[in-house]
Amino acid sequence: MVPKLRFGGFKEEWTMTLLSKLATKITDGTHDTPDTTSEGVPYLTAIHVKDGYIDYKNCYYLDKLTHSFIYKRCNPEKNDLLIVNIGAGTGTCALNTVDYEFSLKNVALVKPNKNKIYPFYLLQVQRKNAKKLFHELTSGGAQPFLSLKEIGKIKIPLCQYDEQTKIADFLSSVDDKITLLNQQYDLLCQYKKGMMQKIFNQELRFKDENGEEFPEWNYDEISSLFSNKSKKYNPLSGINYPCIEMDCISQRDGQLLTTLDSTQQQSIKNVFKKGDVLFGKLRPYLRKYILATFDGVCSSEIWVFKGILINNSYLYQFIQTDFFINLANKSTGSKMPRADWDTISSTFVFYPCLEEQSKIANFLSALDDKIAVKKAELDKLKTWKQGLLQQMFV
């Protein structure tokens, strides 16, 4: 048994070995909910274990006595593997990278036998297996739970230690590049958010082509600035359009993931035109919005906005502001909250003249383009790594 893609110099067969045979200890943290303190010994739960890293910065704290009871059973040390073993993140794993003591809750601890398996190799294997493991645990519909016994039965593809080191170090270097691109992407997103706040609070103003100040911003009801009206489409008409449902729109970044065949839908849809602004009114906190690049139809849970006193490019940026999202979140319904148009449309806001609107929209759209390019680089690298994982492990 050998992988498709392999470093030169290695010819030995791989074996499948139970994790219990490769660990000196498999245990987990407390399943109770101890009282936290404002300071003391760090205390981590499932929410702090991410894919490949641990969020130590936002940890909780316990008093020393409570910590000592938990630590007797579960004593994480540097390069131990932490695996979330209950809840939505089950299977997510990361290596402990710190030397100090901390307590765990709802997280399993695997101490690799360093004579048999390289910890960073184990991390890469387990990260690869995480999604499959989660899917298997949730197939029955119950809350996922990974027992210590089941963790011990996880099969690990095992090769010689030198080959493990080669594989892990190479994949770790790829992870470093992914982390760097992630940081660059996050910084661009944060920069845009900061600029939007300054622009829409009028802390930052643009000037006209002659370097002169634009007029003071006007103040009016949102209902005067843009409309929320659209024609209706019946799938039984037999006319086919690209159809956008809520699940077709990515969260927070304005990306359209896919479209559907409108004639295959069962309910009445809203009609939109190229250049219209679409905003998901169902669970508005999800921040699902796009600037339409084609004519089509969309779910009735998606509003179709058209500019009146503001142009659509500026409108598209305006609906991304925290101000508008907070306004949309003043919603109706508890289980299925929906933004309320009456609340939104009757709200007064400041807005600039059309020429300054264009300046603002062009500036923010250019930032969107840079963010999209960085996101594409990041996604491409992640996809490339996934392809490597499929070929480098048996």
Nearest CA-CA partner of 283 in 329, 252, 345, 230: 329
Residue 6 forms part of a structural domain: no
Q: 244 pLDDT exceeds 80?
A: yes
> pLDDT at position 55, please?
98
Residue 128 forms part of a structural domain: yes
Considering the domain architecture, whether residues 232 and 116 belong to the same structural domain is answered as: no
Contact indicator for 155, 18 with CB cutoff of 8 Å: yes
CATH number assigned to the domain comprising residue 318? 3.90.220.20
Instruction: Tell me the whole-structure pTM to 2 decimals.
Output: 0.89
Q: Which of 124, 139, 157 is the last residue of a domain?
A: 157
Considering the domain architecture, whether residues 202 and 70 belong to the same structural domain is answered as: no
Residue 279 forms part of a structural domain: yes
Considering the domain architecture, whether residues 337 and 246 belong to the same structural domain is answered as: yes
Considering the domain architecture, whether residues 55 and 131 belong to the same structural domain is answered as: yes
Sort 120 into a burial class: Cβ within 10 Å, 0-12 / 13-18 / 19+. buried
DSSP 8-state assignment for residue 30? B
Q: 139 pLDDT exceeds 90?
A: no
Print the domain residue range for 368: 159-213+354-393
Q: How far is CA 333 from the centre of its chain?
A: 25
Q: How far from each other are the two terminal CA atoms of the chain, in whole angstroms? A: 7
> pLDDT at position 106, please?
96
Instruction: Report the residue count for the chain.
Output: 394
Residue 289 forms part of a structural domain: yes
Look at the chain and report how many structural domains it folds into. 3
Per-residue pLDDT tens digits for 249-293 = 999 999 999 999 999 999 999 999 999 999 999 999 999 999 999
**Gap between the Cα atoms of 30 and 103, Å rounded:** 8
Nearest CA-CA partner of 363 in 136, 192, 239: 192
- In DSSP terms, 94 is beta-bridged to 82
Per-residue pLDDT tens digits for 319-334 = 999 999 999 999 777 7
> pLDDT at position 133, please?
92
Considering the domain architecture, whether residues 316 and 378 belong to the same structural domain is answered as: no
- In DSSP terms, 30 is beta-bridged to 105
Considering the domain architecture, whether residues 140 and 202 belong to the same structural domain is answered as: no
Query: pLDDT category, 28, cuts 50, 70, 90?
Result: very high
